[in-house]
Amino acid sequence: MTLQHLSCPKPILLLVLFVLSVSFAQGQSKETRNLYSVPDSVKATGFYTEVTLRQNTNSSKNGTVGIGNETVTLRLERQKKNGLAVVMTVPAGAPLLANGLQTVRTRKEVTLGGIGLEEGLYKLLLVKAPDTASKASLWSGYVFLPGLQKWKLMGTVRVPGAGYINSMSRFHSSKEKNRILDSFSRTAFQRSNGTWRSTEGAPVTIPAINWFGEADSSGRAVAEKSIIEKAIQEKRTLPLQYTNGIYYAIKEKGTGAPVQVTDTLTVYYKGYLLSDSTVFDQTTVGKPARFPLSRLIRGWQVGLPLLNEGGKITLVIPSGLAYSIRTRSPKIPPNSVLVFEIEVVKREEGRK
């Protein structure tokens, strides 16, 4: 549904964008669902909810609670043998581009099992990053685990179709003996500009997500260190030096003043994935980019002060100093090790 298909006046449209909600019990699936629909004009890229589980979850009966649509779902599932598990369903055959540690991929699911029956507030988040050029999208699922007080990436897959999210559901087991849900709390869509709107249409504040203090950050750092060092040994990258979490090769030191984190820089650059050399961003000849260094990813802030004005450098940046588990772009999956080739054309001294 698009704006062109709606005949209601704009004031009414603004009221109904987020309140088209339908609740129903499905006789065969024994689930209760709440369906929320939005038109493409809203440009929804994420769906979030908070879930409190019932305290009496020791029953041997299976039960579920979660969110999703016809493409992906993310749910908490009580399993007879393994206790509570987190399960993300994905299309069969969809490439798994990233996943959390200890998760298991089967044909249609990514599962994290054996997390017990922890009490507390769980948070579920599905994010879509559409790419009109490739006519495909990344879908990522995340869960906040109250026992760790940290977010965890379940998985990221690429699927056909590049539109924004137009519908999402909350669901839970409706039979009392299977019910594990105590209550839902905040439920909202995130728009492409980063703002959140509740399912009733009003602005809402969602707790800040710590993408860099996530559940797998320590293990991921160790794994990526091995990946980078193997690439160096196999000569798939330049000989590199190491400092403060990043790898680098200085091509030209530069003859101007030293670069400071507080500077505003004019640069030429090319960015690509270490895994397969996919270029995700680059400047063109005659059109350098200009930005304050302090606003860029941590890897740039560590690497560029190794240069003077006029210098050139290659940076290999682990995900923890780049975008971590965040679904930043359809061309940059979570947990991506990034490579940048950078030339500092000009520096403008900033305030210290």
Q: What is the pLDDT of residues 64-77, one digit of tens each?
A: 999 999 999 999 99
pLDDT score of 320 more than 70:
yes
- Chain mean pLDDT for the chain: 89
Instruction: Based on the fold, state whether residues 115 and 227 are members of the same structural domain.
Output: no
Instruction: Based on the fold, state whether residues 189 and 73 are members of the same structural domain.
Output: yes
pLDDT score of 272 more than 60:
yes
Please give the pLDDT value at position 177: 83
pLDDT over 90 percentage in the chain: 76
Please give the pLDDT value at position 59: 56
Instruction: Based on the fold, state whether residues 52 and 165 are members of the same structural domain.
Output: yes
pLDDT over 70 percentage in the chain: 88
Instruction: Based on the fold, state whether residues 168 and 108 are members of the same structural domain.
Output: yes
Give CA separation, 159 vs 27, 53, 101, 163, in Å: 30, 31, 22, 11
Instruction: Based on the fold, state whether residues 22 and 169 are members of the same structural domain.
Output: yes
Instruction: Based on the fold, state whether residues 226 and 88 are members of the same structural domain.
Output: no
Please give the pLDDT value at position 82: 67
pLDDT score of 25 more than 60:
no
pLDDT score of 302 more than 60:
yes
Q: Give the N- to C-terminal CA distance of the chain in Å, as an integer.
A: 50
Instruction: Based on the fold, state whether residues 160 and 225 are members of the same structural domain.
Output: no
Instruction: Based on the fold, state whether residues 19 and 50 are members of the same structural domain.
Output: yes
Report, as an integer, the average pLDDT of 98-112.
Answer: 96
Give Dmax (Cα) for the chain: 74
Residue 176 within any structural domain of the chain: yes
Report, as an integer, the average pLDDT of 338-352.
Answer: 90
Separation of alpha carbons 17 and 37, rounded Å? 7
Instruction: Based on the fold, state whether residues 147 and 229 are members of the same structural domain.
Output: no
Separation of alpha carbons 66 and 75, rounded Å? 4
pLDDT score of 133 more than 60:
yes
Instruction: Based on the fold, state whether residues 235 and 141 are members of the same structural domain.
Output: no
Region of 326 (left: φ > 0; alpha: ψ -120 to 50; beta: rest) is beta
Query: How many separate domains does the chain show?
Result: 2
Residue 203 within any structural domain of the chain: no
Residue 78 within any structural domain of the chain: yes
Report, as an integer, the average pLDDT of 186-209.
Answer: 93
Residue 52 within any structural domain of the chain: yes
Residue 21 within any structural domain of the chain: yes
Instruction: Based on the fold, state whether residues 92 and 153 are members of the same structural domain.
Output: yes
Higher pLDDT, 18 or 112: 112
Which of residues 198, 233, 252 is at a domain's end? 198
pLDDT score of 150 more than 80:
yes
Please give the pLDDT value at position 14: 39
Give CA separation, 184 vs 66, 67, 154, 352, in Å: 10, 11, 21, 46
Residue 173 within any structural domain of the chain: yes
pLDDT per position as a tens digit, 28-61: 458 899 999 988 888 999 999 999 998 755 555 6
Give the residue numbers spanning the domain of 329: 217-348
Of the pLDDT bands very low, low, confident and very high (cuts 50, 70, 90), residue 129 is very high
Instruction: Based on the fold, state whether residues 221 and 161 are members of the same structural domain.
Output: no
Higher pLDDT, 201 or 329: 329
Please give the pLDDT value at position 343: 98
Please give the pLDDT value at position 254: 97
Of the pLDDT bands very low, low, confident and very high (cuts 50, 70, 90), residue 118 is low
Q: What is the CATH number of the domain that holds 299?
A: 3.10.50.40
Q: What is the CATH number of the domain that holds 122?
A: 2.60.120
Residue 204 within any structural domain of the chain: no
Task: Report the Cα 233 to chain-centroid distance in Å.
Answer: 31
Residue 209 within any structural domain of the chain: no
Please give the pLDDT value at position 60: 59
